[in-house]
Structure 1
Amino acid sequence: MNLVFATSLVPVAEPRSGYDIANRVIVDALRMMGHRVSVLGFLQPGHMAAETDETVVLADLEVTNARVNAMRKLGWLVSAFARGEPVSVTKMHAVPDTQVAEALAGLQPVDAVILNSIQLPGAFLHLFEGLPSLYVAHNVEGASAAGNAREAKGVLDRLLYSREARLLTAIEQTLCRRAAYVFTLAEEDRAALGVDDPDRSCALPLVTSVEPPPGIAPRMAQYDVGMIGSWTWSANRAGLDWFLDEIVPRLPADIRIAIAGGIDDTPSGLPGNVECLGRVPDARAFVRSARVIPLVSRAGTGVQLKSIESFELGLPSVATGSALRGIAEIPANCLVADDAPAFADKLTSLVQRSRVGEIPDLDGRIFHASQLRRLTAMLSEGLARIGRVNDR
């Protein structure tokens, strides 16, 4: 098939965020299956598109709130209210409708458009109307915004998040209604989007790359516990705050903890055994430097790619149930706990057993191969629905 992958941010050569990794894997898997995939979207500054010959970049565009100044944020907010759109969607109007329409026309003829996440398709709904489409729902965006509204500490933030939730839900409903088939990244998101009929949707198992991870290799533990994430995202920050507030005080003081990743404000009053490293040059090397990985998702929707990466590397872990969204087979060296005392007890036990060599790493290639087989099978299922639509 000839496909167009329409996305806010195009897949990049060196993906770092969960969103970038998921985009790259889906496109790479489709190409591995023999399909031609042209990509249409924006390029985040400082990155290089993964396949420049097959990518139409509308413009360079920074969309991360933490990386823009106050004036840019205010401009997005004003535009969102003027257009009656969610803020995350209105960011896509960095180029005019005509430019997107011309780029889309230049990629014809195609068998289908894969509408990746809500932002770009939501901003240009009228341009994609009538085209055979599949929708990839990375998260249930409306539900995530509603959760942010419930957790908001100020009245203004609560009102803004509530507005986002209402508008995002309406766009999600439109994209799901138009799509021949919907891909989610977690099983429970299918019901949340109202497409839990197997004829309407499936959940895509993900990997961090279509290339297999390395096998078991010796590693030197620098920390007992290591966490990495994009802590500027509110759902991730909720998990980090829970870990620091509820888990760390229950751990022995000799357990050394390292936290890596971008963060807006470093938590104050951390105990001496907790170190915030900020962004690290090599995320994989960092997680391999920790004996045990806590997977602490407490909110949000979609899949947790940090969980998948830990399992691909075969690392011991303790996970909340939310951190295991989209994962069918849980590795034997992953323990599960949702309440704080049980989580802390299991984390302490794993660290102590790891120190004496009782908890070995597993061969993550087995987990990766299983996930990749299921990913290509689910993609084939969705593409078959497009074939039936085109044959009518």
Structure 2
Amino acid sequence: MHLVFATPVLPAASPDSISGMAGRTIIDGLRRTGVRVTRLGYSRAGASSPGDDAVSLGEIGGIDELSLRPDTLLTAMSRGMPLSSAALRIAPDTELRAALEALGPSDGIVLDGVALAGAYPLLAKKPFLLLPGDVGERPFFGEENAVPAFLRRLLVAREARTLDALERKLAADARYVLPPSGEDGERLGLDADRSGILPPVGAPPEPSGLRLPAFDVGMLGDWTHPRMRAGLEWFLTEIVPLLRPEVSIAVAGKMPRGLARRSRRVLFLGPVMDNDEFLRQCRIVALTARGREGLYPATLRVCELGLPAVATPQALRGMSDLPGSIVRAEEPKAFAAALHDLVVSQRTESLTDADGATFHAERQARADRVIADALARFSG
């Protein structure tokens, strides 16, 4: 069997996003079953070759920036499509048809999200599997652009409506739908006979050996995203003042503009070269999600690495069979107390890391079972 994995940008997406992890999970899972998978999509401007298993439709810049160009706005409004789909209408339909024909005979398409199919409806003319995007990763048209805040809010609301409508249409037409969580399945009203939850899986964790942490508490994420920033603001405002002065804190990841530095003890590192290595440099990880929807990639990676963490209930959404190293806490006092307890336990070596490799392997096995079921339904 030969399937085409149609994704907006090659590779599937950031491997540190839920959508990127889901894309890699299904590609790897399909290939383990013997399915030939060819990736199709745009390449990042200036990026290296996408590889022998991929066909590029051409180069593309940042989709958020492209979405707010006047010609993109006009296309989206006139065609009633999401801005993220209008931003992808760079190559003409004839080029997409030629690219598909050049791939040779295929048995169907795997749609990585709905934006590319929204730009090119011909992708949904063949039998297809659908990977709905994680609702928490929808475009927010970040703060780098000059769009006024009130207009950005209107565009974000419109994007949510149009993406919802497109997802529901494609979910109804798909042979099988693989949402990343039960929450997304319920949101789309999916039929249990035509859908299965595909748990995103990260890269296999590397054996780490002895850890020598440089920080007591660490946090990792894209803090420019509104839902992530809310968790960071909550931590800085409500948790840090409750922590003892000797507790060191490091925050890694893309930082938003205008974030006030509230404590000298908090070290803002910005993006780091190796996310896994940074997390291993922290005695305890704080998972501070406050948003009410979507999955959190940092939570998944912490579990796969077997690292101890304190997490809000929102940060654990969509996660089952959590390792024993994860402590749940919601109120600020309870969260700060849990951090103190785990930091002391880790310093005194009475707290050991969990078996992240087993957690990863069990999650991978569960994903493979879902993929096998999807293939059976797709072919049946």
TM exceeding 0.5: yes
Would the alpha carbon gap of residues 317 and 101 (structure 1) be closer, same or farther in structure 2, given more than 3 Å must change? Answer: same
The alpha-carbon deviation at position 361 of structure 1 amounts to 0.9
Distance 1:240 1:103 in 2: 44
Residues 2-26 of structure 1, C-alpha deviations (whole Å, 9 max, x = no match): 1111111222799454443432232
In the TM superposition, 1:89-238 aligns within 5 A as 89-125=85-121, 127-140=122-135, 154-195=149-190, 197-209=191-203, 212-215=204-207, 217-238=209-230
Aligned equivalents of 2:230 and 2:245: distance in 1? 23
Equivalents in 2 of 1:46, 1:16: separation in Å? 20
Counterpart for residue 145 of structure 2: none
Q: Which residue of 1 aligns with 2:2?
A: 2
Counterpart code for 1:231:
W
Say if 1:228 and 1:42 are closer, same or farther in 2 by CA, change over 3 A: same
Give structure 1 stretches of 5+ with no counterpart: none
Preserved contact between residue 180 and residue 200 of structure 2 (Cα < 8 Å): yes
Match for 1:178: what amino acid?
D
Question: Map of 1:223-372 to 2, 5 A cutoff?
Answer: 223-265=215-257, 267-299=259-291, 301-372=293-364
Deviations 1:18-40 (A, max 9, x none): 44343223212211221100111
**Which amino acid letter does the alignment assign opposite residue 253 of structure 1?**
P
Query: Which residue number in structure 2 is paired with residue 28 of structure 1?
Result: 28
Q: Given residue 161 of structure 1, which amino acid in structure 2 is its aligned partner?
A: V
More deviation, 278-287/101-110: 101-110
Aligned-partner Cα distance in 2 for 1:4–1:205? 21
My pick for the range that moved more, 72-81 or 373-382, is: 72-81
The answer to which of 184-193 and 319-328 deviates more is: 319-328
Give the 3 Å change call, closer, same or farther, for CA 180–302 of structure 1 in structure 2: farther
Residues 239-248 or 290-299, more deviating: 239-248
**Partner Cα separation in structure 2 for residue 78 and residue 249 of structure 1:** 48
Shift of 1:230: 1.8
Please state how far the C-alpha of 1:213 moved relative to its aligned partner: 1.9
* Alignment-mate amino acid for residue 172 of structure 2: R
Letter in 2 for 1:246: E
- How far 1:86 sits from its partner (Å)? 2.0
Matched position secondary structure for 1:94: coil
Counterparts of 1:100 and 1:311 in 2: how far apart (Å)? Answer: 40
Counterpart of 1:386?
A: 378
Cα distance, 1:250 vs structure 2: 2.5
- 2: CA distance, partners of 1:85 / 1:263: 31
**Aligned-residue offset at 1:64:** 5.1
Post-superposition offset of 1:199:
0.6
Summarize the Cα distance change of 1:46–1:347 in structure 2 as closer, same or farther, 3 Å threshold. farther
User: What TM-score, normalized by structure 1, do the two folds share?
Assistant: 0.87
Name the structure 2 match of 1:57.
56
Shift of 1:283: 1.2
CA shift digits 1:166-208 (9 cap, x unpaired)? 211111111101111111111221111110x321211112221
User: In the TM superposition, what are the counterparts of 1:9-48 in structure 2 within 5 Å?
Assistant: 9-11=9-11, 15-48=15-48
- Aligned to 1:9, the other structure's residue is in SS state strand
The CA deviation at 1:88 is 1.8
CA 1:130 to 1:85, structure 2 compared with 1: closer, same or farther past 3 Å? closer
Give the whole-Å Cα distance in 2 for the aligned partners of 1:112 and 1:156: 39
Shift of 1:325: 3.0
Q: Percent identity?
A: 38
Aligned residue identity for 1:183: L
Structure 1 residues 254 and 45 mapped into 2: Cα distance closer, same or farther (>3 Å)? Answer: farther
Quick one: distance in 2 between partners of 1:192 and 1:110?
Answer: 31
Residue by residue over 1:306-329, the C-alpha shift from the partner in whole angstroms, topping out at 9 and shown as x without a partner, is 212111111001122222233221
